[in-house]
Homo-oligomer: A and B are copies of this chain.
């Protein structure tokens, strides 16, 4: 179990089978940094091209197609105080006839205080005045290299993860990705100090981050979509457009999970779904939208789950 300190010298705007920047072992921990969605780093310098430049990829030894990569998000901390957001709700999330009433999409600027764990609106000057929100630092875009030699834009998301913009991808969460290529090739970036559900303005509070993560490999464990877990929930992440399909993806993957790992029959899984499932809207802005399907762990205590 080695801990690596990694400083990026270049960034990627696709998740693909790019040259690894570091080779790490199953169980290793990495401390690194990410630049913001526009490529601005901790010092406020723009050092990478948009959108969502990625740190990585990290080659995880032993990860092969058909395995699962586990990424433990140990720490996600803003490493500067300047954050920015778009200042207009996006055109695709309102009724078409309402679009002309949206404001011009100017930027809003925030002062992020990682110690006070809040962000304060600096500009523009609006009726919100000195508006303060609690922060909840998250990664908007992270994932692995996709199959068939694809290189998928960091603007969007799919089975490999990518730009999911889900506001519960915070520190303490364990994320599971299907492995499509040797070494999995893990990428990360696009930190948000905070973000409402759905990323309805097209951004969170965009900021650069210090990130620590730990990887593990589950051999011969095939999953279809990103999955996650925190203290309260297991969850699956559907990335597609429209929301209906994103929801179908997440729902189907959760049914598989309940049946394959928790040993529930189809009727049991359905009954659990009917009364206990929760959904979160990750984003409704990117080319693929994201819906998250969650089952509270308290309902699963009695059901065997293998090693993972």
Q: Which residues of A are at the interface with B, using a C-beta cutoff of 8 A?
A: 13-14, 16, 85-103, 106, 108, 119, 121, 124, 126-129, 131, 133, 148-153, 194-201, 203-205, 240-245, 247-249, 251-252, 255, 263-281, 284, 289, 291, 299, 302-303
Smallest CB gap from A136: residue in B:
B275
In the assembled complex, the CB of A157 is this many whole angstroms from the nearest CB of chain B, namely: 13
- Chain B nearest Cβ from A173, distance in angstroms: 18
C-alpha spacing A245/B241, complex, angstroms: 9
Q: Which B residues touch A281, using CB under 8 A?
A: 247, 279, 281, 291
State in angstroms the CA–CA spacing of A270 and B86 once bound together: 9
Task: Tell me if A148 and B271 are in contact (CB < 8 A).
Answer: no
Given contacts A196-B275, A197-B277, contact A124 B247 (CB under 8 A): no
Q: Contact: A278 with B196, CB < 8 Å?
A: yes
With a CB–CB cut-off of 8 A, which chain B residues contact A244?
242-244, 284, 289
Chain B residue, CB-CB nearest to A303: B127
What is the distance, in angstroms, from A44's C-beta to the closest C-beta of chain B? 21
Point out which of A86, A90, A244, A302 has the most chain B C-beta atoms below 10 A from its C-beta.
A244
Asked if residues A89 and B270 are in contact (CB atoms below 8 Å), the reply is: yes
Contacts of A274 in B (CB 8 A): 85-87, 89, 108, 195-196, 199-201, 203-204
Q: B251–A247 contact, CB under 8 A?
A: no
Query: Are the CB atoms of A98 and B252 closer together than 8 Å?
Result: yes
B87→A247 contact, CB < 8 A: no
User: Cβ of A153 and Cβ of B150 under 8 Å apart?
Assistant: yes
Chain B residues lying within 8 Å of A106, measured Cβ to Cβ, are 267
Contacts of A270 in B (CB 8 A): 86-89, 102-103, 201
Contact (Cβ within 8 A) A272 B128: yes
Q: Which residue of B lies closest to A50 (CB)?
A: B148
Chain B residues contacting A204 (CB-CB under 8 Å) are 274-275
Given contacts A96-B96, A274-B86, A275-B133, contact A126 B265 (CB under 8 A): yes
Shortest Cβ distance from A51 into B: residue: B148
Contact A247–B93 (Cβ < 8 Å): yes
Is A267 touching B126 in the complex (CB atoms < 8 A)? yes
> Do A252 and B128 touch across chains, with their CB atoms under 8 A apart?
no
In the complex where A150-B14, A198-B277 touch, is A131 in contact with B92 (Cβ < 8 A)?
no
On whether the beta carbons of A13 and B148 are closer than 8 Å, the reply is yes
Q: Which of B127, B194, B269, B275 contacts A195 (CB 8 A)?
A: B275
- Give chain B residues whose Cβ lies under 8 Å from the Cβ of A255: 89, 94, 98
Min CB distance A126 to B, Å, is: 4
In the complex, the answer to whether B271 meets A121 with C-beta atoms within 8 Å is: yes
- Does the CB pair A127–B94 fall under 8 Å? no
Contact among B93, B150, B197, B302 for A248, CB-based, below 8 A: B93
A140 CA / B166 CA spacing, docked (Å): 29
